[in-house]
Amino acid sequence: MALDPILILELVGLGLMSGFLAGLLGIGGGMVMVPFLTLIMSTRGAGADLAVKMAIATSMTTIVFSSISSVRAHHRRGAVRWDLVRGLTPGILLGSLISSVGLFSLLKGHYLAIFFGLFVGFSATQMFLDRKPKGSRQMPGGAGQWIAGGLIGLLSGLVGAGGGFISVPLMAWCNVAMHNAVATSAALGFPIAAANAAGYAYSGLSASGELPPGSFGFIWLPALGIIASCSVLMAPVGARLAHRLPVKQLKRIFALVLYGLAAYMLWKGLSSL
């Protein structure tokens, strides 16, 4: 896949859009990148299975960079719950490595696409309904946060997202203020992305004969460079807007974005069966 001018423009646009959404919604941009990267790679000759896997791996790796930019903007506003970041991160690292090194290389790409669509659609529904949690409900303690972090890391590794589609609804359900949940999710994106990126690079070594030039494991480096550099520019813009929007509107935006992308990935997965 040569980097022609049209492809470069597509990747620039994707990077700007995903970076903005990473800052605005705390979703790491992966929910946007995976469907569009799958489409870009499929139209340039990559097989359906490989296109989905490389899109997931490349998307997750870009989050290493966009999460740093996004969390700095949220931290300056005092919105990040660092106590929750510390409590969830050990489980996240373990779950991410299990997912990216083991399950990811074993599952077919169309099954990953279907799983992506179903889980993201479920997350969108929970957010769109805006159900109010019980006033007494709080985040779990030490062991509970390890377990929750493990699930966040595991599921994020299978769909190539920074975990916001799980961690934001979880924290909101446990009475963490929405703006704090978005900011904390952005901070969690870094350990999720770093652990999974290492796993994708390692697990993709066995598929080296199928991969396009410029690949490092399942990570497509040309796309990574362009998307990451553009997303870093836009993440602070999205973060600033996140602190100006009302909570209910922020939840509805989150849900509508996820519905559209879930539908595309479900279609992609089911049509490949």
26: Cα separation from own chain's centroid: 9
pLDDT, residue 133, reads 47
* Digit-coded pLDDT (tens) for 158-206: 776 666 667 877 887 788 887 888 788 888 888 888 888 888 888 888 7
Given a cut of 60, whether residue 63 has pLDDT beyond it is: yes
- Residue 140 buriedness (CB in 10 A; 0-12 / 13-18 / 19+): middle
Domain count for the chain: 1
Q: Whole-angstrom Cα distance, residue 164 to residue 188? A: 8
Average pLDDT over residues 75-93: 90
Q: Domain range holding 59?
A: 5-271
Task: Report the predicted TM-score, pTM, of the whole model to 2 decimal places.
Answer: 0.75
The mean pLDDT of the chain is 80
End-to-end C-alpha distance for the chain, whole angstroms: 25
Q: What is the pLDDT of residue 12?
A: 92
Is the CB of residue 233 less than 8 Å from the CB of residue 215? no
Task: Pick the closest to residue 119 from 160, 88, 90 (CA basis).
Answer: 160
Checking if the pLDDT of 216 tops 80, the result is: yes
Give phi and psi for 139, each to the nearest 5: -60, 145
Band (pLDDT 50/70/90 cuts) for residue 28 is low
Give the Cβ contact number of residue 270 at 10 Å: 12
pLDDT level of residue 90 (50, 70, 90 thresholds): very high
For 193, the 3-state DSSP assignment is: helix
Classify residue 129 as exposed, middle or buried by CB count within 10 Å of its CB (0-12, 13-18, 19+).
exposed
- Specify the DSSP element, H or E, that contains 220: strand 219-220
CA distance 225 to 128: 34
Coil vs helix vs strand at 77: coil
Q: What integer pLDDT is reported at residue 131 of this predicted model?
A: 59
User: According to the model, what pLDDT value does residue 165 have?
Assistant: 67
Tens of pLDDT, residues 108-128: 777 878 887 887 787 778 767
Has residue 225 got a pLDDT over 70?
Answer: yes
Question: What is the percent of the chain where pLDDT is above 90?
Answer: 7
263 pLDDT higher than 50:
yes
- Band of pLDDT at residue 209, cut at 50, 70 and 90: low
Query: Is the pLDDT reported for residue 232 higher than 60?
Result: yes
Q: Which residues contact 206 (CB under 8 A, 6 or more apart)?
A: 105
**What is the reported pLDDT for 82?**
93
Side-chain half-sphere exposure of 261, counting CA atoms within 13 A: 28
Between 249 and 201, residue with greater pLDDT: 201
pLDDT 10s digits, 124-160: 787 677 655 454 566 777 788 898 888 888 887 777 6
| pLDDT at res. 135 | 46
Burial class (CB in 10 A: 0-12, 13-18, 19+), 247: middle
> Whose CA is closest to 31, among 168, 145, 170, 147?
168
pLDDT higher than threshold 80 for residue 259: yes
Using 50, 70 and 90 to split pLDDT, how confident is the model at 93?
very high
